[in-house]
Structure 1
Amino acid sequence: MNIRYKVTLPVVCAMTLILTCSIFSIVRLELLIHQYQELFQQDIHRLNHIASLESEFKSQVQAWKNVLIRNEEKYWQQFETHHSTIQKNIKNSLNQLTQVDAEYISLLTQVKNKHNTLLPKYLTAYQAFNATQSIVNTDKMVRGIDRDMANFLKETRIDVQTASNQHLAAINAQQTLVMTVYPIIALIISLVVIVVMLQLLKRTIILPLRALIANTVLIAQGKYDLPMSYPYQDELGDLSNAIVDIKTHIVEAVSNITVVKGEVEEAFGEIDNVSEQITQGSNDQERCSADMEKTIAGLADIAEQLQQHSQMALNSTNTVTNQATQCTDIVDNSANSMKILVTEVEKTSAVIQDLEQQAGSVSSVLDVISSIAEQTNLLALNAAIEAARAGEAGRGFAVVADEVRSLASKTQQSTLSITSVINNLQSAAQNAVSAMQEEISITTKNAEQTTLAQQSLKEIMQEMVQMTQLNNQVAHAAEQQSNITESLQQTLLQLQSISNNYKALAQSDKVSKTVANANHDLNVMVEKLRGNLSHQEVELF
């Protein structure tokens, strides 16, 4: 695997994992919103149903009072009609419910049974009233049974409201889990992946590269017996193999020159056979020159390959740097989107608060209407009493007073129903404001987490810049090796010149002096090959 894949693969995996966590959180949040909508529609329907039953039962009780006050058959028929309406309403609701609503089915069944037990008692009282025409005795027969039913309906409505609040609390708890715990888990996973990615880059690229550079410096200082190994088959592995080849060729060159030096010293010791020995030494030098020429050509090829691999590594690093820059831009855009989301949520919270205030104003108006209805009811009752005292002369006025009182009673009941709805609306608005405030806090935390991700990407960019510097240093070292190759070529030219001089000295009277000079020159060249790289300063890191 080359360096580009080693760098880009962890980055792609990290971004994929972060994106997966974000998509999972969004899906969960949409599911909670759907559950909240279903809960709101179901509970509002149930509360309205219970409220309608209460209103219908109050109308039934009012019809019974009209029976006692006016003693007319039509009011008893109204009483029975209200009773049938309540029973039919409950029966229709039970037929529409399923086994999932078992608790609500049980409540409606209890209401139906309890309400159904009232009709025989009222029928008995009505028959007694027709027989005795005694309002007081008849009222005693059924006194309190309507209050028990009204209280039971009220308790039923409270139970439904309590169940609704419990469902809403459960959904809010799940929402808190999605909006807080999941983002925290995603952040922890992201940080762990980033740390693992940095450690992987350090272990597979940076540390081996540093070790390779350190070994190269030691070889440049003349330590040719230093063992070198690289565990990965990538661009740096090719570079390591090239350096090993260069070291091998340099060692062979030094060994060959040392052999030549020994042969010259032996020729100098056997001065009596100087012509023959010098000729032999010249031939040996020619062979060594040919070997060195091949070695130098190999060194030149290796140096060129080293430069090519360094350029490839530099190009890969630049590509990774550009991709990391694109990731940084994406994270910046995400941070800006989070800020815009916070602003929009704050605006929505302000609108809901204004709605809550408007609902409070409507509640005040309803209080005034309720007070007027109570006063109208009292005035109608007083008018009915006065009409009863007037006898037949006030009978028509009594009918009008009863109608006014009935209208006032219905107005008061409607006002109570509207007040209950307004109170529920205010409570829901307050809960929505609290949820909006919680979402603002959570969104702000997400924006901070995005900022942390930006910092991590900047650290990755710094590591990429450091790798670019390392590649430049490797390229500089390759250039120095090219210079060394040129120095070896110059040394080869000198050896060829010396070889020609040896041939001339074979016929010369100054052979002894010439051999001594040649021996001195060889010593200089050997020392130069052994210590040439130690005098070159290579700046690393």
Structure 2
Amino acid sequence: MKKKPANFKSYGKSLLKKIKRMRYKGKLIQKLTLLIAAIFVVSTASSFFIYYHNQQVTNNSLALEEAADLQQRYTLLLSEVKQIGLTQLQLVTSGYESDRVENLQESLHLYEQNYNYINDMIEGDEALEHYFSHFGNAFSTYEELNERYFLPGFEYEDRDRVRSRVTPHIVRTEDNINSVDDRIHTYLENSIDEARSELHSAITTTTIITITGTVFLVLVPLLFLLLFGKNVSSGVRLVMDRIEAYKAGNLHFKQSKTRYDEFHDINTALEEMGTSLRDVLESNEQAGKEVTHVAEQTSKASSEQLTAMEKLLETIHHFSNELDQQTDFTTTISSTTEQVSASSQEMQSSVELMTSQVNEVGSTSNQGVALMRELQETMKQLNENTEIASRKVSDMEQQLNEISAFMEGIDNIASQTNLLALNASIEATRAGAAGRSFSVVATEIRKLSSETNEFSTRTKEILANLGEETIQVVSAFDSFLIKSIETLEKTDVASTKFQDISEKNNHLTTQYNEMILSIEQINEAMESVVESVSQLVEGANYLQKNNHTFKGVIEKQTLSQKELTKLIASLYDTAQSLKKSS
């Protein structure tokens, strides 16, 4: 019988160690971490560029607001300075009025505030500082005229003389103001136009950067996800090819592709499992053939033994008849003596032949016992190997569940992306025409999220199918283990029966030896029959008595031999079942 390799157990342990080490390898995790890091870097870079250009837009917008505010305050300042000059002319023309004097004081105060505020705004701008110096001079002139002629309670002694003194200062001041007004107005308009142009340019640039960054932010992660998904799909296909080949009965399957990650370890473990299973099946088939051969040989020997037993029983019946005739016809002692002597010699020859055949049966039974013990050891090893293979497939099922959990993470990312795109669409709708381009980008993001969900769904379906097939493999291993246990139990029964056959053959050999001794005694009695007829009668009676005992022993042995034949037939059926199960 072909035995398992001596190092099978150590080989199985090394295979389990490889499976355990495979769990701690992080190649796929490293790829996923790299994918997340790449997405984070791309997102951060895109966000930085978008934020930077948005800040440019904000700064230009603030600059435009400052220019518009400066123009507005300049308009107020110009209005105040003209109102001050007009009020002072009215006072020197129509005379003192308290309301106008109060308005003049208030206008001077407001003028001073606006002037100081504008000076703070234009600080560092030499051109505007030069232009607004005329407004400072105008304020000094009007302040001086106010203190000299227009303070509350002041009465003009000579209105014409005061008017002649005040009017030239007011006219000259207004002329100076008018001379710089056009230049200041032109300068401010140019500043506003320049700020507006820079703002428009910044908005255009920001829009382009935003669209480009968004597209880049979508396409690059999508490309990484597609590459990662293709890598995982290729690994699953690698494992599925081997599993499908094993399901088809091709345990010699060889992969044409090579990987260097966890899928390679799974494929290697499956390949080693297939090699181990193939060796087990071959050993099982060879054991079935050898057991069948032994059963056939034993059945043949048992049939021959049964034939010899029947022949011996027939001889004993004949011998019994002869003894009866000897008892009835004591007067024919010589003739009967010759017949008994001849029958005794024939019986001795038959007994010697039966003894030889019984010894052969005993030897065959001992060989059967040894073979059954070897078969028991083989079946025990087969059960252990089957349990190891079942645990390996269960470990693979757990890793498939971890991959399914990873796909759930991808679903969550896709859902968050879809929610982000929906919020972006809402904001784009609120923005109106300015958000149309961003709405298109949001729509594309939702479409990408939907496609990612579909990809994840298909991947999970494949993993679910793989999980179901793995469960079927585990079920097949369990069924095979049950059959192996049943075969082991039948082998134990066959071994017990072989042991019984051996013990019965030993007992039969002892009885045959006793029978030979009895035949020798019969021969001695036949030699002394001439001496005394009475002794002959007594010897005949004694022989007849022993003959009945011997006949009972032979009949019992015949029944035992028939039972042995049935047991051998059962052993043959067990061997055939073992061959079919392999």
TM-score (norm: length of structure 2)? 0.52
Pick aligned residue for 2:380 from 301, 313, 318: 301
Match of 1:406 in 2: none
**Could you say if the C-alpha distance between residues 261 and 347 of structure 1 is closer, same or farther in structure 2, counting changes exceeding 3 Å?**
closer
By how many angstroms is 1:13 displaced?
A: 5.5
Match of 2:324 in 1: none
Letter in 2 for 1:192: L
Match of 1:89 in 2: 121
Conservation of the 8 A alpha-carbon contact between 1:260 and 1:285:
no
**Could you say if the C-alpha distance between residues 162 and 275 of structure 1 is closer, same or farther in structure 2, counting changes exceeding 3 Å?**
farther
Letter in 1 for 2:381: I
Alignment of 1:338-487 (within 5 A): 340-341=419-420, 344-349=423-428, 351-352=430-431, 431=434, 435=438, 438-439=441-442, 441-486=444-489
Match of 1:413 in 2: none
Match of 1:113 in 2: 127
Match of 1:179 in 2: 214
**Could you say if the C-alpha distance between residues 490 and 22 of structure 1 is closer, same or farther in structure 2, counting changes exceeding 3 Å?**
same
Which 10-residue stretch deviates more, 143-152 or 5-14?
Answer: 5-14
Q: How far apart, in 2, do the equivalents of 1:182 and 1:348 lie?
A: 19
Say if 2:235 is the partner of 1:200. Answer: yes
Gaps of 5+ in 2: 1-17, 93-103, 142-164, 254-264, 309-348, 516-553, 555-559
Q: How far apart, in 2, do the equivalents of 1:482 and 1:78 lie?
A: 109
Q: How far apart, in 2, do the equivalents of 1:334 and 1:196 lie?
A: 19
Letter in 2 for 1:50: A
Q: How far apart, in 2, do the equivalents of 1:535 and 1:213 lie?
A: 17
Q: How far apart, in 2, do the equivalents of 1:436 and 1:289 lie?
A: 86
Letter in 1 for 2:469: Q
Q: How far apart, in 2, do the equivalents of 1:325 and 1:342 lie?
A: 26
Q: How far apart, in 1, do the equivalents of 2:375 and 2:132 lie?
A: 118
**Could you say if the C-alpha distance between residues 327 and 470 of structure 1 is closer, same or farther in structure 2, counting changes exceeding 3 Å?**
same
Say if 2:82 is the partner of 1:51. Answer: no
Superimposed CA distance per residue, residues 29-82 of structure 1 (whole angstroms, 9 cap, x where no aligned partner): 664675466445423331122123333444566678779989969999999998
By how many angstroms is 1:291 displaced?
A: 2.9
Percentage of matched positions with identical amino acids: 8
Conservation of the 8 A alpha-carbon contact between 2:134 and 2:177:
no
Letter in 1 for 2:65: N
Q: How far apart, in 1, do the equivalents of 2:113 and 2:360 lie?
A: 138
By how many angstroms is 1:26 displaced?
A: 5.7
Conservation of the 8 A alpha-carbon contact between 2:70 and 2:118:
yes
Which 10-residue stretch deviates more, 291-300 or 327-336?
Answer: 327-336
**Could you say if the C-alpha distance between residues 120 and 239 of structure 1 is closer, same or farther in structure 2, counting changes exceeding 3 Å?**
closer
Match of 2:19 in 1: 2
Alignment of 1:161-172 (within 5 A): 161-172=196-207
Q: How far apart, in 2, do the equivalents of 1:279 and 1:165 lie?
A: 117
By how many angstroms is 1:173 displaced?
A: 3.6
Letter in 2 for 1:89: M
Conservation of the 8 A alpha-carbon contact between 2:266 and 2:396:
no
Superimposed CA distance per residue, residues 104-163 of structure 1 (whole angstroms, 9 cap, x where no aligned partner): xxxxx5xx336627868999xxx9xx9x97x99999999886445433432322222333
CA RMSD of aligned residues (A): 6.0
Conservation of the 8 A alpha-carbon contact between 1:22 and 1:186:
yes
Aligned pairs, number:
418
Letter in 2 for 1:90: I
Match of 2:279 in 1: 244
Conservation of the 8 A alpha-carbon contact between 2:251 and 2:274:
no
Superimposed CA distance per residue, residues 297-316 of structure 1 (whole angstroms, 9 cap, x where no aligned partner): 22332243244335424543
**Could you say if the C-alpha distance between residues 237 and 205 of structure 1 is closer, same or farther in structure 2, counting changes exceeding 3 Å?**
farther
Conservation of the 8 A alpha-carbon contact between 1:335 and 1:447:
yes
Gaps of 5+ in 1: 95-108, 219-229, 354-429
Letter in 2 for 1:214: G
Counterpart secondary structure, 1:214: coil
Letter in 1 for 2:476: Q
Whichever of the two has the greater Rg, that structure is 2
**Could you say if the C-alpha distance between residues 198 and 120 of structure 1 is closer, same or farther in structure 2, counting changes exceeding 3 Å?**
closer
Match of 1:312 in 2: 391
**Could you say if the C-alpha distance between residues 454 and 28 of structure 1 is closer, same or farther in structure 2, counting changes exceeding 3 Å?**
farther
By how many angstroms is 1:180 displaced?
A: 3.0
Letter in 2 for 1:160: A
Q: How far apart, in 2, do the equivalents of 1:215 and 1:482 lie?
A: 25
Superimposed CA distance per residue, residues 384-427 of structure 1 (whole angstroms, 9 cap, x where no aligned partner): xxxxxxxxxxxxxxxxxxxxxxxxxxxxxxxxxxxxxxxxxxxx
Superimposed CA distance per residue, residues 336-381 of structure 1 (whole angstroms, 9 cap, x where no aligned partner): 555555554455455555xxxxxxxxxxxxxxxxxxxxxxxxxxxx
Superimposed CA distance per residue, residues 207-261 of structure 1 (whole angstroms, 9 cap, x where no aligned partner): 168448725799xxxxxxxxxxx99775874674365256336536745875897
Q: How far apart, in 2, do the equivalents of 1:212 and 1:4 lie?
A: 26
Match of 2:368 in 1: 289
Q: How far apart, in 1, do the equivalents of 2:284 and 2:224 lie?
A: 51
Letter in 1 for 2:462: E
Match of 2:186 in 1: 151
TM-score (norm: length of structure 1)? 0.55
Conservation of the 8 A alpha-carbon contact between 1:53 and 1:86:
yes
Pick aligned residue for 1:188 from 223, 226, 233: 223
Letter in 2 for 1:241: S
By how many angstroms is 1:187 displaced?
A: 2.7
Superimposed CA distance per residue, residues 432-464 of structure 1 (whole angstroms, 9 cap, x where no aligned partner): 565456435434533442343233223222222
Letter in 1 for 2:122: I
Match of 1:100 in 2: none
Q: How far apart, in 1, do the equivalents of 2:78 and 2:233 lie?
A: 79
**Could you say if the C-alpha distance between residues 198 and 436 of structure 1 is closer, same or farther in structure 2, counting changes exceeding 3 Å?**
closer
**Could you say if the C-alpha distance between residues 298 and 458 of structure 1 is closer, same or farther in structure 2, counting changes exceeding 3 Å?**
same
Q: How far apart, in 2, do the equivalents of 1:335 and 1:50 lie?
A: 46
**Could you say if the C-alpha distance between residues 534 and 211 of structure 1 is closer, same or farther in structure 2, counting changes exceeding 3 Å?**
same
Match of 2:344 in 1: none
